[in-house]
Amino acid sequence: MATIRDVAKHAGVSVATVSRMINDTGYVHEDTRKKIETAIKELHYTPNEVARSLYKRKSRLTGLLLPDIANPFFPELARGVEDEMQRNEFRIIFGNSDENKAKEKEYLQTFVQNNVVGIISSTNFPDSDMYRKLNIPVVFLDRTADNRPSVYSDGREGGRMAAREIADRGSRRVTVMRGPRHIRPAQDRYEGAVEALGERGIVFNVIQTSSFSFTDAGTWARELFERHPETDGVIASNDIVAAAVLHEALRLGKKVPEDVQIVGFDDIPLSRLLTPSLTTIRQPAYDMGKAAASLLIRLIENEIVDEPTIQMPVTFAERDTTRKAEIEWQK
């Protein structure tokens, strides 16, 4: 690889001049500029980012920490982040945390060791020291804490919405699939659902699930209908679980939505391809990722952001695992 010295020599100038020209900082004569340009072309020179980073103590790298890219909710998020970063010429060091604190810590450490200028993280430990001690901007994504920079959606309202809609459509023996206890958004949804169900005096059962994995989802779906065969409405903790529940209901010969209604959460791309297509509470994953990146960049560039926490709207994506709302007829 050619270095700045090579370019300087080739152009018959000093490295200082080449640097000035590359970074457009300070004077450089038109003629010298030409010569340097030629030299750069001929030598295929591109600046060594590592050397730059060392001197300036900052890079064009950012860190992105997600629980598990294999969970279909996260690729959309990641894509939003990447698109925005790429547009602004930032690069991403990516890691999966598996919601594991030690792994997370390890990644944060190497992010710092590599001089990243900012971090986006979907962490369950936003209040831990490992984040507090960082002296670079951090944006929490699909998570939030106090007044710290974050992009998330209102899980509680989402849960309420799911319960409300399924109740309005006539389910009276609801089962709520409660997501992993240590995952904040999952709890928010659960609490919201419980709250709205309670307000309506609707009895409900709870199936506790401990992960969002595909393989486990089927197990819980089976457990659901074994333990609560009378269920006529399911509020799932996310679309994967909902898909598993739908699959199991159909396997048992139940009619969806006539016998059982199902509401998912997230609106992953495949939800609309299920048959019947899945009614769900939508989070705008791509936009959330994009917003997080955009916010981080503003932070990195020291722009003033008056509102560091961005709450994105959840919306009811009405499809075919729910019946038409009875309530609507009364309007």
Which of a second copy, DNA, none lies near 75, with the C-beta cut-off 5 to 8 A by kind? a second copy
In a 3-state reduction of DSSP, which class is residue 212? coil
Nearer CB in complex with DNA: 59/121? 59
Which segment (9-17, 120-128, 188-196, 269-277) binds DNA by CB under 7 A? 9-17
Q: Are strands 315-317 and 279-282 parallel, antiparallel or unpaired?
A: antiparallel
Letter string b/e over residues 165-195, b meaning 16 or more CB atoms within 10 A of that residue's CB: bbbebbbeebbbbbbbeebbbbbbbbebbbe
Which of DNA, a second copy, none lies near 109, with the C-beta cut-off 5 to 8 A by kind? a second copy
Burial, 162: exposed, middle or buried (Cβ in 10 Å; 0-12, 13-18, 19+)? buried
CB of 117 to a second copy, least distance (A): 12
Which of DNA, a second copy, none lies near 327, with the C-beta cut-off 5 to 8 A by kind? none
DSSP 165-190: HHHHTT--EEEEEE--TT-HHHHHHH
CB of 219 to DNA, least distance (A): 48
What is the arrangement of strands in the sheet containing 261-266, beginning at the earlier edge strand? 203-208, 173-178, 233-235, 261-266, 279-282, 315-317
Residue 135 touching DNA (CB under 7 A): no
* DSSP character at residue 272: G
Query: Interface with a second copy by CB under 8 A: which residues?
Result: 1, 46-51, 53-54, 59-61, 64, 68-70, 72, 74-76, 78-79, 82-83, 86, 91-96, 103, 109-110, 112-115, 214, 217-218, 240, 243-244, 246-247, 250-251, 269-270, 272-275, 277, 286
Taking CB under 7 A as the criterion, the residue among 34, 41, 56, 324 binding DNA is 56
CA dist 127 and 145 (Å) reads: 7
Structure tokens at 154: 């209102």
Taking CB under 7 A as the criterion, the residue among 9, 43, 47, 250 binding DNA is 47
Taking CB under 7 A as the criterion, the residue among 10, 13, 263, 293 binding DNA is 13
CB of 59 to DNA, least distance (A): 11
Q: Which residues bind DNA (CB under 7 A)?
A: 1, 3-5, 12-17, 19-20, 22-23, 25-29, 31-32, 45, 47-48, 50-52, 54-57
